[in-house]
A and B are shown apart, each in its own frame.
Chain A
Amino acid sequence: GDSVTQMEGPVTLSEEAFLTINCTYTATGYPSLFWYVQYPGEGLQLLLKATKADDKGSNKGFEATYRKETTSFHLEKGSVQVSDSAVYFCALPTDKLIFGTGTRLQVFP
């Protein structure tokens, strides 16, 4: 069945470091793919999305490219900030929405 596999955290980085959070998926057809972010004590916010193969979603300096050949949608940011500390979820829409397990990012000054 459809599924999402996301790298385990936490990921701990210094400010201005490069970030990669891996996400791979298994799906029937070619669904959209999403990254959500959850700041402490809050709900989830849509960070970025890609609707078809080779699309690149981007927002707030984060990017992810929908790669059909590797069934991946890795999240990247060139220079993280302390304010990026949050939990990041990769998600695959089906009739519901399938989430990865979430990756906690901690950025230290």
Chain B
Amino acid sequence: GAVVSQHPSRVICKSGTSVKIECRSLDFQATTMFWYRQFPKKSLMLMATSNEGSKATYEQGVEKDKFLINHASLTLSTLTVTSAHPEDSSFYICSARVTGRNSPLHFGNGTRLTVT
């Protein structure tokens, strides 16, 4: 089946530094990838939709300058948390869809970001 690989699984960084998270579709091409953020014991919050070769579409309230998304190829999207602060500590999950809107999303295993 479709596999999405997310890296790293855990990262600890100091306040003020930037962190890049990679999301790869291993056995399919993904023109669209989605980035979610999950707070403890909460549902997933969609942050942005990443489209290959074009700018990402951010959800309301998500700072595009803070959460930089690049979807440079059909198999790779990256999320960079710039100038991270402790409040950015969270679980970030990417996902990709193989075909149309009625097909399921396949998720990476998530990245636990801790900003100290």
Give the Cβ gap from A92 to chain B, nearest Cβ, in Å.
10
Provide the residues of chain A in CB contact with B34, threshold 8 Å. 96-97
**Do residues A44 and B101 form an inter-chain contact, with CB atoms below 8 A?**
no
With an 8 Å Cβ cutoff, the count of chain B residues facing the other chain is 22
- Interface residue tally for chain A (C-beta within 8 Å): 24
Residues on B facing A (Cβ under 8 Å): 4, 6, 34, 41-44, 46, 49, 93, 95, 101-110, 112
A99 touches B44 (CB 8 A): yes
**A101 interface hit (Cβ, 8 Å):** yes
A-B contact count (CB 8 A): 57
13 A-B pairs within 8 Å (CB atoms) are namely A32-B104, A36-B107, A42-B110, A44-B93, A44-B95, A44-B107, A46-B106, A89-B44, A95-B101, A97-B105, A101-B42, A102-B42, A102-B43
- Contact call B110/A101, Cβ cutoff below 8 A: no
Give 4 closest A-B pairs by Cβ, nearest first: A43-B107, A44-B107, A43-B109, A43-B110
Q: Which residues of B contact A96 (CB under 8 A)?
A: 34, 46, 49
Q: A100, B46: Cβ atoms under 8 Å?
A: no
